[in-house]
Amino acid sequence: MSKKEIRKVLVANRGEIALRVIRACHELGIRTVAVHSSIDEHALHTRFADEAVCIGPGPATQSYLNIPNILAAAELSGADAIHPGYGFLSERADFAEIVGRCGMTFIGPGAQHMRVMGDKIEARACAVRAGVPILPGTGLLADGEEALEEATRIGFPVILKASAGGGGRGMKIVRDPAKLIQTLETAQAEAEASFGCGDMYMERYIDSPRHVEIQVVADRHGGVVHLLERECSIQRRHQKVVEEAPCSVLSESVRKAMCEAAVGLCKAIDYYSLGTVEFLLDGDQFYFMEMNTRVQVEHCVTEMITGVDLVQEQIRLAMGGRLDHLDRHHAARGHSIECRINAEDPVTFGPRPGTITALHFPGGFGVRIDSHVYQGYKVSPYYDSMLAKVIVHAADRDRAIRRMRRTLGECVIEGISTNLPLHRWLFKQEAFVSGKYDTHFLEASMDPEAVLREVDPYT
């Protein structure tokens, strides 16, 4: 692929990721266009972009998911590239294709990669062909009777998953054969409502796994490198809450094998752009889970331990750049942890929109805040509830944990309920501090009364 210059990028997103992309573009000397719904007119991404275009009313289906309006904004502003961020249209193959047909550059992988990895069954098949370990599982399930036969072959417990799924929707664990068919029907209905597709498959379920993912970067010239791993096991309802890098329980041999497996998968499908290959870790065994064909929310912790600006790399790759400048054998520089601060009840996790009446973000050595909110900001019920990502970096994990405790204690967000108390509670738990936890830690161990006592750490 010949070098293609990008002069102006339309950012088809909102919130902190829109700001993140705008900042990366400006450092590269690229002009930016923000798009926004009518209720986001005064959002920070509209202020810091070079231009801003309204693309519709508040609901995402009428604005940030409205492909014709986004393309019209790109044409009106003269943008020659579109960055989708994460969420919204970031993994929509049809959107990537349309952007290309309109003569613009889509800053991301090819539509074919999105389709293959977006279909979880086809993704499993690709992993098998690439020699990447997978859990025993099935293809598409025709009906409940086949599901029961397959579950008996695999062995209970099993987990039902939506072929087009993500974010935990359509996922159901089944331990009792008598409940399998009814649970399958429930999962199909949930998947149909969430993704417009009720196709399901099944895998053997691991009771106490860790969730570890590998950051990959690939160019259009066959170059693929990994930038080590991230630990994402602190979750609620299959949604990540805390991420860190590197993973504290990986041996060097397992780390090497996991990184090589991720790179091998990318090479097998001729992947390019950023990507994340996600694995379940069971002791020293790891199994392919899925691949995300976009920049991840938690990319920041990888940036902190490698010194690589992933968003700028993504833009360079879209222009046909090579990876020759990246070291193919990275070693972690210290330890980084990220907390997702959401506008939600810290115990029930229900969203809590409203107006932020007072705000103070922490600072100091080794602290990074990625956020789009400010005092007086109105948190809308239409969009994701994340307010900020609080990221710390230190020489080792113990010092990173102490830095995060201090940082969380300095963070003030008033006027709405947030999950700050949950994070403050978590960083005092011996299981977390010692690294002896799995993906079920929050569900199994959270003490609601203790969490609520952390609402104001100084009282």
Residues labelled as active-site residues: 294
Q: How far apart are CA 289 and CA 281, in angstroms?
A: 10
Burial class of residue 303 (count of CB atoms within 10 Å of its CB; 0-12, 13-18, 19+): buried
Burial class of residue 283 (count of CB atoms within 10 Å of its CB; 0-12, 13-18, 19+): exposed
Q: How far apart are CA 235 and CA 249, in angstroms?
A: 17
Return all residues near 416 (Cβ < 8 A) that are at least 6 apart: 343, 352, 353, 354, 355, 356, 379
Does the bond joining 346 to the residue before it have cis omega, within 30 degrees of 0?
no
Q: At 180, phi and psi to the nearest 5? A: -65, -50
Q: At 33, phi and psi to the nearest 5? A: -125, 125
Closest to 215 (Cα-Cα) out of 325, 298, 124, 117 = 298
Cβ atoms of residues 126 and 277 within 8 Å: no
Give the containing element (helix H, strand E) for 32.
Answer: strand 31-37
Eight-class DSSP state of 107: S
- In this structure, what token pair is assigned to residue 336? 């980084």
- In this structure, what token pair is assigned to residue 452? 């609520």
Q: Which residue has the tokens 């072929």?
A: 163
DSSP-assigned beta bridge partners for residue 10:
33, 82
Q: How far apart are CA 279 and CA 210, in angstroms?
A: 8
Each residue of 417-450: b (16+ CB within 10 Å) or e?
bbbbbbbbbbbebeebbeeebbbebbeeebeeee
Q: How far apart are CA 175 and CA 450, in angstroms?
A: 31
Angle at 76 between CA 72 and CA 77, to 5 degrees: 120
Q: At 426, phi and psi to the nearest 5? A: -55, -45
Does the bond joining 157 to the residue before it have cis omega, within 30 degrees of 0?
yes
